Copies of this chain bind each other. A is one copy, B any other.
């Protein structure tokens, strides 16, 4: 059970209702009441769990959970007494159901007397603005936004409805679409790393663009997104960006992308829709990464990637080629074939 210091105690739901809301097929007792969600290895008989990663099938075989979302193919692994909720997408069904038990928290609308709001800022209805938050002139905050403690919203910044800005985050020169969330300590809209090299010192290039973030985007903790140099830096709808990611000026990221922690994307690179970049991937500047491309963690991308291609390596190459190379080198060393 989630720690009540941090989470509200959820209301119970019957398995019948869970099956109905998730679209899963229930094999078991629809009248049974479920009080909470929990991982397979700690769930009790009034709690709901799920099996998604096959690595945890051992936990599933021994689970004491009252019910479990699983793929129909896994049904034979089920221990006795567990109610099964069959679905082709157990993790998605779990996510949706957990959201019912634990709806997104949000304080009641209120503006802290310790927030500092410029008289020329526009604040919508039902916003939460916490202590120490600073909202500068001509910022425009739509209905239902939540600005957390010590966050700073720069002059002219525009937030869509239901946007949440985390503690100590910093926004300038940007627009954020509805339902997007910026996590703690993220820095959005500062000048990009733009300069002309000259023997007498670098000459700063004024950075005249913005950061335009679409709807339903998530930007992780301490991530940095520089504003464009002239064109804008843009992040497409529904894209999720993890913690400590760096996104350079003029970068364009499509919709539905997954950018894992500590990725760095250099200036002016264009990333298509539904691209997945693994943790610590580096992408050089002025490249095109095609729609649906997937890049394994820590890869170094120095060339364009065609749509749909999976790559890995440093420099990055098609995944199969990289795997072949790794295996080949291993054999080479093992057999210690002389090259002298």
Contact = CB atoms under 8 A, between A and B. Distances in A.
Given A5-B156, A98-B206, A335-B339, A150 B173 contact: no
Interface string A148-171: 111010111010000000111010
B242 A193 contact: yes
A311 interface: no
A333 interface: yes
Nearest to A212: B3
Contacts of A208: 2, 7, 37, 98, 102
B325 A329 contact: yes
A297 B116 CA distance: 42
Given A240-B202, A243-B226, A314-B298, A279 B266 contact: yes
Contacts of A96: 203
Interface residues of A, number: 111
Interface in A196-242: 196-198, 201-206, 208-210, 216, 220-222, 224, 226, 230-231, 238, 240, 242
Interface string A233-273: 00000101011101010000000101011101010000000
Nearest to A41: B231
Interface in A74-122: 89, 91-92, 94-96, 98-99, 101-102, 104, 114, 116
Nearest to A36: B208
Nearest to A256: B201
A134 interface: yes
B300 A300 contact: no
A324 B187 CA distance: 40
Interface in A266-322: 266, 279-280, 282, 284, 286, 297-298, 300, 314-315, 317, 321
A196 B95 contact: yes
A195 B240 contact: yes
A195 B31 CA distance: 29
Nearest to A38: B230
A132 interface: yes
Contacts of A333: 321, 324-325, 328
A332 B326 contact: no
Contact of A92 (B152, B203, B216, B326): B203
A125 interface: no
Quick one: which of A5, A37, A206 has the most chain B CB within 10 A?
Answer: A206
Given A149-B134, A190-B183, A244 B242 contact: no
21 contacts: A2-B209, A5-B158, A6-B210, A7-B208, A55-B286, A99-B206, A102-B208, A131-B134, A132-B132, A132-B134, A166-B170, A168-B168, A193-B260, A195-B240, A242-B246, A243-B246, A244-B244, A246-B279, A261-B266, A314-B314, A325-B333
The 10 A-B residue pairs with the shortest CB-CB distance, nearest first, are A5-B156, A92-B196, A187-B221, A2-B208, A224-B243, A95-B205, A102-B206, A95-B203, A246-B261, A95-B196
